[in-house]
Amino acid sequence: MKPLQSWSPNYLHKLYKHEVDKLAHGELNLKQKEVQKRKIEALYRLGTHQDMKEVWTKLLDRDADAIKYSVEKELALVDGIHGCIWREAFGEKRATPKDKNDQLGEVNKAINELQRVIKKSGEASDETHLIVETLLHKKNLEYRNQRGENKSFPENPSWLKLNEGSATQELSQLAFDEHMPWLDRFPAQRLGWWTREAMALNLTEILNYYSERMDYHSQVYDTHYAMESSKIREGLSWLMNQIYGKDLNEYVARIMNAILDVDSWDKDKVRKNGSYKKAK
């Protein structure tokens, strides 16, 4: 068992040891053990995270109208924080927004490198303008062969689009009225528009949009991470109100920083999410 710092509350030491011992009893299944380990890690950070030294000192020294004796204040504070951790039931470990951003950033880095290499090759660059249309025609010939038409594949893949019944030929038979409202067009005209636009896509455009989607997913993950962490924030704010009669959002943010094991960048997110006002 990793020891807590001497400056952490006595009751936290006892609680931490109790939860570690519970893990060693062998009564938990594999899933429960994983959750228990994460909860123990959170308790450990509450007793070792350097920022918590000041938090414990100031909160335990702070007047609390609802509590008469200091030992009762320590018990209420530590046990209350412990309860917030347990109620949220942690579950499986989640990547932090920074980890997720780094992960998706690797994808974007690879995309940028691929585009750089493609630009250096004339053949590769030429194929970027043909790849989607060529692939669609290849799939069409494969489909038609499966249906028993016995269509032969040309030696040069670029000639696929010249095959009888190609998308270009079939699109030319559709009368597109660009001024007609979309829903007034016949299904074949709407489908024709999708086909025409798909065939016009080039690989560079696809990769650029794919890169944008990686950025989007990173932002969404960041937002949802903050929203889920707000459940713990609400519990801690309620606890501060019960003990001290105030939300004490700055202390809540610092406690969450320790519990969730996030860096200062994430703590700023937590503070904004909690309508942060400096506690005095």
Q: pLDDT of 13-49, one tens digit each?
A: 999 999 999 888 777 888 788 888 888 999 999 999 9
Top pLDDT among 86 and 173 is at 173
Q: In whole angstroms, what is the distance from residue 217 CA to residue 223 CA?
A: 10
Instruction: Give one DSSP letter per residue of 235-248, joined into a string.
Output: HHHHHHHHHHSS--
Q: Is the pLDDT of residue 273 over 60?
A: no
Q: Is the pLDDT of residue 236 over 50?
A: yes
Its pTM stands at 0.51
CA 39 to chain centre: 21
Q: Minimum mean pLDDT among 73-77, 132-136, 203-207: which range? A: 132-136
Q: Is the pLDDT of residue 279 over 70?
A: no
- Averaged pLDDT of the chain: 83
Contacts 24+ apart (CB under 8 A), 164-169: 165/140, 166/137, 166/140, 167/133, 167/136, 167/137, 167/140, 167/195, 167/199, 168/199
Q: How high is the pLDDT of residue 168?
A: 82
Q: How high is the pLDDT of residue 277?
A: 40
Q: How high is the pLDDT of residue 270?
A: 45
Cβ atoms of 168 and 243 within 8 Å: the answer is no
Q: How high is the pLDDT of residue 113?
A: 95
Which ranges of the chain does DSSP label H, i.e. alpha helix? 10-24, 30-46, 50-61, 70-88, 97-120, 122-128, 131-146, 167-172, 187-200, 203-244, 249-260, 264-273
Running DSSP on this structure, what letter comes out for residue 153?
Answer: P
Cβ atoms of 47 and 12 within 8 Å: the answer is yes
51 Cβ partners below 8 Å, 6+ apart?
A: 254, 257, 258
Top pLDDT among 160 and 185 is at 185
Q: In whole angstroms, what is the distance from residue 207 CA to residue 115 CA?
A: 8
The average pLDDT across 211-226 equals: 80
Q: In whole angstroms, what is the distance from residue 216 CA to residue 100 CA?
A: 12
Q: Is the pLDDT of residue 92 over 50?
A: no
